[in-house]
Amino acid sequence: MAILEAKGITKRFPGVLALDNVDLILNKGEVHCIVGENGAGKSTLVKILTGLLVPEHGTLTINGRNADKSLFSTVTYVPQELNLFRYLTVAENIFLPFNKTDTSSFIVNDKKIFKITEKYLEKLNMTVSPSDIVARIPVSEQQLLQVARAIARQQFNILILDEPTTSLTQQETERFFNIIKGLRDEGKAIVFISHKLDEVFSLGDNISVLRNGQLAGHSSKITDVDTAWTIHQMTGEDIDITKNYRPRVPPGEVLLDVKDLSGKGFNNISFNVRKGEILGFAGLVGAGRSEIMQTVFGFLPEKNGEVYFKNKRQKFRDTAASIKNGVIYLTEERKSHGIFPQLSVKENINVLQKEKISTLGILNFKTDVQIAKKVISEYNVKTSSHDTKIINLSGGNQQKVLIGRTMEASPQVIIFDEPTKGIDVKTKEEIYAMMQYLAEEKGIGVILISSEMEELLKCSGRIISIYNGKKAGEFEGENLNNKNILSSIIGIDKTAQGETT
Lateral strand order in the sheet of 2-13: 16-27, 2-13, 57-62, 65-66
Nearest to 307 by CA among 285, 329, 282: 329
Considering Cα of 361, then 363, then 367, then 371, what sign does the dihedral take?
A: positive
Residue 496: predicted pLDDT: 47
pLDDT above 50: residue 365: yes
Which residue ranges make up each domain of the chain? Answer: 2-235, 254-339+413-489
172 pLDDT tier (thresholds 50, 70, 90): confident
Q: Which CATH class is domain 2-235?
A: alpha beta
The 10s digit of each residue's pLDDT in 2-11 is 899 999 999 9
With CA atoms as reference, report the closest residue to 60 among 136, 7, 11, 133: 7
Between 65 and 11, residue with greater pLDDT: 11
Give 308-328 pLDDT, tens digit per residue.
Answer: 999 999 989 999 899 889 999
Q: CA 342 → CA 101, 347, 392, 404, 491, distances in Å? A: 39, 10, 9, 19, 43
> Residue 470: its pLDDT value, please?
95
Q: How far apart are CA 141 and CA 124, in angstroms?
A: 10
Share of the chain above pLDDT 90, in %: 60
Distance CA 55, CA 106 (A): 39
Encode 409-452 in three state secondary structure.
Answer: CCCCEEEEECCCCCCCHHHHHHHHHHHHHHHHCCCCEEEEECCC
Yes or no: say if 458 and 434 are a contact pair by the CB < 8 Å rule.
no
Q: Is the pLDDT of residue 495 over 50?
A: no
| pLDDT at residue 363 greater than cutoff 60 | yes
pLDDT at residue 99, as a whole number: 52
pLDDT in tens, 411-466: 999 999 999 988 888 889 999 999 999 999 999 999 999 988 999 999 999 999 99
| pLDDT tier, 493 (very low <50, low <70, confident <90, very high otherwise) | low
Strand partners, 181: none
Q: How far apart are CA 448 and CA 281, in angstroms?
A: 6
* Structure confidence at residue 500 (pLDDT): 39
- The CATH number that domain 254-339+413-489 falls under is 3.40.50.300
Q: Which of 30-44, 88-102, 444-458 has the lowest mean pLDDT?
A: 88-102
Q: 251-271 pLDDT, tens per residue?
A: 999 999 999 999 999 999 999
Half-sphere exposure for 185 (CA within 13 Å, toward CB): 7
Share of the chain above pLDDT 70, in %: 95
Cα(47)–Cα(285) distance, integer angstroms: 29
Classified as helix, coil or strand, 270 is strand
Distances (CA, A) of 459 to 112, 114, 285, 439, 477: 51, 46, 20, 11, 13
81 or 250, greater pLDDT: 250
pLDDT, tens digit (0-9, with 9 covering 90-100), for 190-246: 999 999 999 999 999 999 999 999 999 999 999 999 999 999 999 998 888 889 999
Q: Identical fold at 2-235 and 254-339+413-489?
A: yes
